[in-house]
Structure 1
Amino acid sequence: LIAALERMDAMLDLLQGAQIRAFAGTFDSVPTPSSAYAEAMAVLDDPEGTPARLAAVIGGDAGMSTAVLRVANSAYVGLSTPVASVQRAITLLGMDMVRALLTVAGVLRSGSDHPAVGRVLAGGRDAVERVRPFLVDVDPEVAQQTELAAMLRDVGALVLLAEAPEDYAPLLDLPAEERAREERARYGASSAVVGGYLLGVWGLPAPVMVAVARQTEPPLEDGTPQALLARALAPREAA
Structure 2
Amino acid sequence: MKRVLFVDDEPALLDGLRGRLRGLRSRWEMIFVESASRAIAEMELRPVDVLVSDMRMPGMDGAQLLSIVRDRWPETIRIVLSGHAENEQSKRLLTLAHQYLGKPCEENQIESAMERCLQMHELLTDSRMRASVGHLARLPAIPRIFAKLHAALLKPDVCVREVTDIVHEDPAIAAKVLQMVNSAFFRVTRRITRIDQAISYLGFNAIRTAVLSVEVFSLWQPGVIVAGLEPERLQARAHRVAAAVSALSHGTAMFDDALLAGLFYNIGYRVLLQERPEDLARASAEARARDIPLHEAERRVIGASNAEVGAYLLGLWGLPYAVVEAIAFQYEPERSGARQFDVLAALVTAERLVMAEDPLIVGIPHHACAALDDRYLQMLSAPFDWSEAQRRVSTDQTGGLVT
Measured against the shorter chain, the TM-score band is 0.5 to 0.7
Shift of 1:28: 8.5
- Report 1:92-171 matches (<5 A): 109=218, 112-114=221-223, 116-139=230-253, 142-169=254-281
In 2, distance between residues paired with 1:127 and 1:5?
34
Q: Tell me the percent identity.
A: 22
| Structure-2 change in CA distance of 1:192 and 1:19 (3 Å) | same
In 2, distance between residues paired with 1:6 and 1:125?
32
Q: Which residue of 2 aligns with 1:230?
A: 348
Shift of 1:232: 1.8
Q: Which residue of 2 aligns with 1:187?
A: 302
Q: Which residue of 2 aligns with 1:47?
A: 189
- 1:209-229 Cα distance to aligned partner (Å, 9 max, x none): 111111222253223211211
| Structure-2 change in CA distance of 1:39 and 1:28 (3 Å) | closer
Give the letter for the 1:224 counterpart. D
Shift of 1:127: 0.9
| Structure-2 change in CA distance of 1:226 and 1:21 (3 Å) | farther
Q: Does structure 1 residue 212 correspond to structure 2 residue 212?
A: no
Secondary structure class of the residue paired with 1:193:
helix
Contact 1:6 1:206 in 2 (8 A): no
TM-score, normalised by the number of residues in structure 2: 0.40
Q: Which residue of 2 aligns with 1:30?
A: 135
| Structure-2 change in CA distance of 1:117 and 1:127 (3 Å) | same
- 1:21-50 Cα distance to aligned partner (Å, 9 max, x none): 45225x48531249x966544377612877
Q: Which residue of 2 aligns with 1:99?
A: none
Give the letter for the 1:31 counterpart. L
Unaligned runs of 5+ in 1: 65-105
Considering fraction of residues, name the structure with more helix: 1
Moved more, 215-224 or 47-56: 47-56
In 2, distance between residues paired with 1:145 and 1:224?
10
In 1, distance between residues paired with 2:109 and 2:263?
21
- Aligned residue pair count: 194
| Structure-2 change in CA distance of 1:169 and 1:230 (3 Å) | same
| Structure-2 change in CA distance of 1:224 and 1:45 (3 Å) | farther
Unaligned runs of 5+ in 2: 1-105, 140-175, 191-197, 356-366, 370-403
Shift of 1:155: 1.1
In 1, distance between residues paired with 2:352 and 2:111?
30
Identify which of structures 1 and 2 has the higher relative contact order when contacts are C-alpha pairs closer than 8 Å and 6+ apart: 1
- 1:78-112 Cα distance to aligned partner (Å, 9 max, x none): xxxxxxxxxxxxxxxxxxxxxxxxxxxx6x73864
TM-score, normalised by the number of residues in structure 1: 0.64
Secondary structure class of the residue paired with 1:223:
coil
RMSD: 3.8
Contact 2:120 2:315 in 1 (8 A): no
Shift of 1:162: 0.6
| Structure-2 change in CA distance of 1:18 and 1:156 (3 Å) | closer
Contact 1:112 1:161 in 2 (8 A): no
Q: Which residue of 1 aligns with 2:211?
A: 62
Give the letter for the 1:180 counterpart. H
